[in-house]
Amino acid sequence: MNLKNDSNECNRRSRTMKKIPLVVITGPTASGKTDLAIRIAKRLDGEIISADSMQIYRYMDIGTAKPTEEERQGIPHYMIDIVDPDEEYNVAMYQKDANTCIRHAANRSRLPILTGGSGLYVNSIIYPMNFTDAVEDPDYRCFLKNILKNRGSIYLHNMLRDIDPDTAAKLHPNDTRRVIRALEVYHLTGKTMTEYQQNYRDMDPPFHLIMYALTMDRKILYDRINQRVDKMIESGLVDEVKSLLERGYTKNLVSMQGLGYKEIIAYLEGSYTLEEAVYVLKRDTRRFAKRQITWFKRERRIQWLNIEKFEHRNDLAEWLVSDIEKKLLSNW
């Protein structure tokens, strides 16, 4: 037996092994990610894996802009409607489940397409992030929740700002679940979430990534957001929220703190008129879109596509199909 030759052959095979291709289509809310992903999936025999932290919830369809069965046009969609609104679900669980879906699609010779605007969900897939480094500390979490109860979300957010201003700038004070988690991670590890993010961006991606983010003039994006909110109201968002409350899903749940839900709950409780609730929802969604753009601009692998440069939506889809095919060939 020639061990040297066997070793060389193993090394050669290792070098020629290719990663599973993964197309990523992301960008701010209301930019048209889902529609574009479906067009591409139809052309390239793809399947869609959602990267939206709100579309995981059942019964929450209108406020999350979840694609209907008709809109999905027969394309398989994964990571949608997987938990009830009162079930615990975190990014570590998403990472495990979404990776399973991606590999399941690839094993059947389908092109996996990751689509959504939840930055941490996207990053959990495109980077080999380890969420087991910082286990939970129930006592410290209880301590933080008592601070929240007694001193409020602003005080808690300021605690995070003092140790990790970058992460604090990304999180709204009302996003108390993520604020608490960031404080907990620092308490357990001595590392801020910003330090974790800086480290993982230097890691080798587990997939052959083909990444795009949609962009457009800010005024056009904001107009699209305003129109989407108006359409949500016309489509029955108020009734959807009423139905959730009648099912016993309370306003304190993480799911019910999402955009579109907490504002309508405030209206139903009499804190806002409907007009005021719609105004706040539009404003906060525009702010959310701005944070999404900031998040994804850190990703050096992303190719930004200005949709205004394409006369028709299908022109953009055709261009993308051609570009993806070229990049897929480079992986063989």
pLDDT score of 332: 64
Give the span between the Cα atoms of 301 and 195, in whole angstroms: 20
Q: Is residue 217 part of a domain?
A: yes
Q: Are both 284 and 315 inside the same structural domain?
A: yes
Q: Are both 90 and 153 inside the same structural domain?
A: no
Q: Is residue 10 part of a domain?
A: no
Q: What is the DSSP string of 86-123?
A: TS---HHHHHHHHHHHHHHHHHTT-EEEEE---HHHHH
pLDDT score of 40: 98
Give the span between the Cα atoms of 105 and 110, in whole angstroms: 5
Average model confidence (pLDDT) across the chain? 90
Which residue reads 């410290």 in tokens? 140
pLDDT score of 191: 81
Tens digits of residue pLDDT in 50-106: 999 999 999 999 999 999 999 999 999 999 999 999 998 988 899 999 999 999 999
Q: Are both 224 and 243 inside the same structural domain?
A: yes
Contact 281, 229 (CB under 8 A): yes
Lowest mean pLDDT among 37-41, 240-244, 254-258: 254-258
pLDDT score of 128: 86
pLDDT score of 11: 41
* CATH number (domain holding residue 28): 3.40.50.300
Question: What's phi and psi for 47, nearest 5 deg?
Answer: -130, 145
Q: Are both 163 and 39 inside the same structural domain?
A: no
Tens digits of residue pLDDT in 286-305: 999 999 999 999 898 999 99
Task: Write out the two tokens for 205.
Answer: 């991606």
Q: Is residue 1 part of a domain?
A: no
Give the span between the Cα atoms of 232 and 239, in whole angstroms: 11
Q: Are both 58 and 175 inside the same structural domain?
A: no
Coil, helix or strand for 203? Answer: coil
pLDDT score of 31: 97
Containing 227, the helix (H) or strand (E) segment is: helix 218-235
* CATH number (domain holding residue 190): 1.10.20.140
For 326, residues 6+ apart whose C-beta sits below 8 A from its C-beta are none
Contact 227, 235 (CB under 8 A): no
Give the domain extent around 140.
131-202
Q: Are both 172 and 208 inside the same structural domain?
A: no
Q: Are both 121 and 244 inside the same structural domain?
A: yes
pLDDT score of 296: 94
Question: Which of 184, 202, 220 is the last residue before a domain boundary?
Answer: 202
Residue 68 DSSP code = P
Domain total of the chain: 2
Instruction: Report which of 116, 117, 93, 114 is spatially closest to residue 102, judged by C-alpha positions.
Output: 114
pLDDT score of 12: 39
Residue 303 DSSP code = E
Q: Are both 178 and 306 inside the same structural domain?
A: no
The yes-or-no verdict on residue 6 having pLDDT over 90 is no
Give the span between the Cα atoms of 233 and 260, in whole angstroms: 10
Tens digits of residue pLDDT in 111-170: 999 999 999 899 999 998 876 555 677 888 888 988 998 999 999 999 999 999 988 988
The yes-or-no verdict on residue 38 having pLDDT over 70 is yes
Q: Are both 155 and 225 inside the same structural domain?
A: no
Q: Are both 312 and 215 inside the same structural domain?
A: yes
Tens digits of residue pLDDT in 177-236: 889 988 988 887 788 888 776 667 777 899 999 999 999 999 999 999 999 999 999 999
Residue 258 DSSP code = S
Please list the residues that pair with 215 across neighbouring strands: 306
pLDDT score of 133: 58
Instruction: Report which of 222, 207, 232, 236 is spatially closest to residue 49, judged by C-alpha positions.
Output: 207
